[in-house]
Amino acid sequence: MADQSIYPLLDKIQFPEDIRCFPIEKLPQLCDELRNFIITVSANNPGHLGASLGTVELAVAIHYVFNTPKDKLVWDVGHQAYAHKIITGRKERFETNRKYKGISGFPKTSESEYDAFGTGHASTSISAILGMATAARLAGNSSQQHIAVIGDGAMGGGMAFEAMNQAGGAQENLLVILNDNRIAIDENVGAMSQYLLHITSSKSYNRVKKGVWRFFNFSKFIVQAISRLGNAIKGQIASKSNLFQQLGFRYFGPTDGHDVIKLVRILNNLKEIQGPKLLHIVTVKGKGIRLAEENQILYHFPGNYDPDTGEIIAPDMQNMPPKYQTVFGETILELALKDEKVVGITPAMATGCSLTIMREQLPHRVFDVGIAEQHAVTFAAGLAAAGHIPFCNIYSSFLQRSYDQIVHDVALQNLPVIFCIDRAGLVGEDGPTHHGVFDLAFLRSIPNMVIASPLNEAELRNLMFTAYSERTKPFAIRYPRGVGVTIDWKTPLEKLETGKSKLLKEGKEIAVLSLGPLGNNVSKAITILEKEGISPTHIDVRFLKPFDKKMLDEICQTHHTIITVEDGVVAGGLFSEVSEYVIEKKFANKVVPIALPDAFIEHGDIANLHKQVGFDVESIVNVIKSVLLYHPPFYPFFNL
């Protein structure tokens, strides 16, 4: 007898229309298979496991009820959309999830017509779906449905409120599904989170809930008729003080987001109700793996694990250099223990950035402000204005949201906020939504800013100490995700001279000016080249702003070519700084960039991405050699 598939229903599915042929009673089994499939495949291909395990029933119910891709579905952040991806034509490719040249870990319009909108950053879904709903109305298309799925963490973000404000006012026809799993990456924080807890646990809401579910047992025609009564329905189904109702939405819930049959019934009826609606579902992050349900922070992104037990297979970190994040966490704690004015701020990434290290000892001086990067920056500005020493830790790509706050609230007032910009440069598997490659460019144009990047862990510590000691200006320190290069990193804190570079290797003809940890690849490249008799100068510029013009002046007069190396886009960063100087001073040096092109870089492991963009050692060797080939020793490099 042939082997029986462990996924008998899932095997029959490529696209949602295949599911729509199933009788509703089959859906729980399909969900079980889908969940097992995610667990099995993700066990040795790490991804955002916890969130995606919580939305299996929701994804199936939405695609069962709605006519996707004609009806539009937007997943907020998008890290919870694995089930959606698998049942919308990407089952076979799911094992390539997040891999180089594989499918993206986030919804992506170029990947599938079922991904109505690309996501990766939080709190965008309601704005996007509102735009689509508005467009449909303007086009006279009343049959198209619009659904946004947003988590309880993302619901606390400012953009979500801005969109709710417009949608509720305009009474546009859309459905927001609030996926409340009571956790963001870390514990969810703030009043919105408290409010949702109140709704899910309060007796009066639960009484109202019974009425709601009676309502959903009515036939479609009765629901249509009742919904035409407009506001009258609101009173029947939720407390008058409900925040979402006050914002002009019809609120439904809370309900169990793992009961797929009930979800289907509810969604079928909600389709018949016009105007903005919010369905509040309660789910369990990590559903299906006991350990993941119990350790939701750890299993947000667990890495490799045993698919049977869920036990995490941790990589051997013995004799490995520390992560830059650990160095940040330990160093801020060290400074905070010495100075009570030091405070730490994170917008919802306490574990990711290791501010947890300080929080364990000094919880009252660490502020997790929720997914609210704009607010985090102005909050830090307020603290600085009142004499505190705020270390505001934000991932580079999320800091993009705070541009006006950096300009208007920090730099213009010259407030000494210390920005620790985590995940700077290419981040790897998370891809273009998360690559932190614009910060050098967007910060350099802001007056008063100090911008630095450490070559290694010791330099990160020293830059933090320098920023702490100076406190005359806003000071940004950008550093990458992951491990550094030095095992003995806990060196005594040393104040560096702001704006001063460091000569790492004296050579001739070519000077390589590197900013940040990519300088370690340059050092390796030079070691290789020296064996062939090629000996360029290497300088760790450390500070992009203020820039070490004295050093640059000397370099321009003693080397015919300057190669700039930076983990950021070519326009606006180190290459621009050096080129502008060479032009301004009318030098004739050739300036060659090793930087990212004017293009979005896809996802994949760092080794492949570095090779692709020319950041790996071999590519750097080749650039230096090719420069020499085209610039014989007599090349003039005098002042024009």
Ligand X SMILES: Cc1ncc(C[n+]2csc(CCOP(=O)(O)OP(=O)(O)O)c2C)c(N)n1
Binding site for ligand X (CB under 6 A): 51, 77, 79-80, 121-122, 151-154, 181, 183-185, 285, 348, 371, 373, 398, 401
CA 628 remoteness from chain centre: 40
Indicate the residue among 296 and 498 with the shorter CB distance to ligand X: 296
The CA distance from 493 to 504, in Å, is 20
Interaxial angle between packed helices 260-270 and 220-228, expressed in degrees from 0 to 180 and rounded to the nearest 10: 50
The beta strands (E) that lie in 446-493 are given as 450-452, 475-478
Beta pairing partners, 151: 179
CB of 452 to ligand X, least distance (A): 23
Catalytic pick from 334, 373, 457, 459? 373
The CA distance from 553 to 566, in Å, is 20
Indicate the residue among 250 and 401 with the shorter CB distance to ligand X: 401
CB of 145 to ligand X, least distance (A): 22
Task: Please report, in angstroms and rounded to a whole number, the separation of the first and last CA atoms in the chain.
Answer: 84
Indicate the residue among 398 and 468 with the shorter CB distance to ligand X: 398
Q: Give which of 470, 444, 468 is closest to 566, Cα–Cα.
A: 444
- DSSP-assigned letter for residue 88: I
CB of 185 to ligand X, least distance (A): 5
CB of 290 to ligand X, least distance (A): 18
Indicate the residue among 334 and 429 with the shorter CB distance to ligand X: 429
Indicate the residue among 105 and 536 with the shorter CB distance to ligand X: 105
Neighbours of 312 (CB within 10 A): 16
The 3 state secondary structure assigned to 116-173 is CCCCCCCCCHHHHHHHHHHHHHHCCCCCCCEEEEEEHHHHCCHHHHHHHHHHHHHCCC
Count of residues making up the chain: 640
The CA distance from 85 to 105, in Å, is 9
Q: Rg (Cα) of the chain, in Å, rounded?
A: 27
Phi/psi region, residue 284 (left: phi>0; alpha: psi -120 to 50; beta: rest), is beta
Indicate the residue among 176 and 226 with the shorter CB distance to ligand X: 176
Indicate the residue among 82 and 398 with the shorter CB distance to ligand X: 398
- DSSP-assigned letter for residue 377: H
Indicate the residue among 443 and 529 with the shorter CB distance to ligand X: 443
What does the CA dihedral 326, 332, 336, 338 come to, rounded to 10 degrees?
90
Phi/psi region, residue 142 (left: phi>0; alpha: psi -120 to 50; beta: rest), is alpha
Indicate the residue among 185 and 208 with the shorter CB distance to ligand X: 185
Q: Give which of 320, 370, 366, 465 is closest to 123, Cα–Cα.
A: 370
Indicate the residue among 371 and 627 with the shorter CB distance to ligand X: 371
Print burial letters for 479-502: b (CB count within 10 Å at least 16), e (below 16): bbbeebebeebeeebeebebbebb
CB of 521 to ligand X, least distance (A): 28
Catalytic pick from 91, 209, 401, 423? 401
Indicate the residue among 79 and 560 with the shorter CB distance to ligand X: 79
Question: Is 373 designated active site?
Answer: yes
CB of 621 to ligand X, least distance (A): 36
**Measured at CB, which residue is nearest to ligand X?**
151
Between strands 509-514 and 146-151, the pairing is unpaired
3-class DSSP state of 335: helix
Indicate the residue among 180 and 566 with the shorter CB distance to ligand X: 180
Question: Is 285 designated active site?
Answer: yes
Q: Give which of 393, 409, 392, 401 is closest to 372, Cα–Cα.
A: 401
- Write the single-letter amino acid at 285: K
CB of 587 to ligand X, least distance (A): 42
Neighbours of 557 (CB within 10 A): 13
CB of 583 to ligand X, least distance (A): 37
The CA distance from 313 to 370, in Å, is 30
Report how far apart, in Å, the C-alpha atoms of 279 and of each of 149, 177, 263, 265 are.
9, 5, 10, 13
258: number of CA atoms within 13 Å, CB side? Answer: 14
CB of 395 to ligand X, least distance (A): 7
- Write the single-letter amino acid at 24: I
Q: 212 near 253, Cβ under 8 Å?
A: yes
Q: 401 near 439, Cβ under 8 Å?
A: no
CB of 607 to ligand X, least distance (A): 24
CB of 356 to ligand X, least distance (A): 14
Laid out side by side, the sheet with 559-569 consists of 502-505, 537-540, 509-514, 559-569, 590-596
CB of 286 to ligand X, least distance (A): 10
Residues 6+ apart with CB under 8 A from 129: 72, 74, 117, 146, 147, 148, 174, 176
> Which residues are marked as active site?
285, 373, 401
